[in-house]
Amino acid sequence: MARSGVTSRRKAEELIKKGLVRVNGTIITEMGVKVNPLEDEIDVAGKKILPEEKKVYVLLNKPLGVVTTMNDPQGRKIVTDLLKDIKERIYPIGRLDYNTEGLLLLTNDGELAYHLTHPRFEINKTYFAKVNGYVTELALKELRQGVMLADGLTKLAFVKLLKRTAKESSLEITIQEGRNRQVRRMCEKVGHAVSYLKRIRLGFLELEDLQVGQYRCLKDFEVKKLKIDCKLTK
Contacts of 116 (CB under 8 A, 6+ apart): 93, 94, 105, 123, 202, 203, 226, 230
| 97 is known as an active-site residue | yes
> Helix crossing, 220-229 with 110-117: angle to 10°?
50
List the catalytic residue out of 40, 43, 81, 97.
Answer: 97
Distance, in Å, from the CA atom of 105 to the CA atom of 40, rounded to the nearest integer, reads 31
Q: Read off the amino acid at residue 29.
A: T
Whether residue 159 contacts residue 217, with contact meaning beta carbons closer than 8 Å, is answered with no
Neighbouring CB atoms inside 10 A of 191's CB total 14
Helix extents (H) in 42-136: 110-117
For residues 208 and 103, is the Cβ–Cβ distance under 8 A?
Answer: no
80: helix, coil or strand? helix
* Residues marked as catalytic: 97
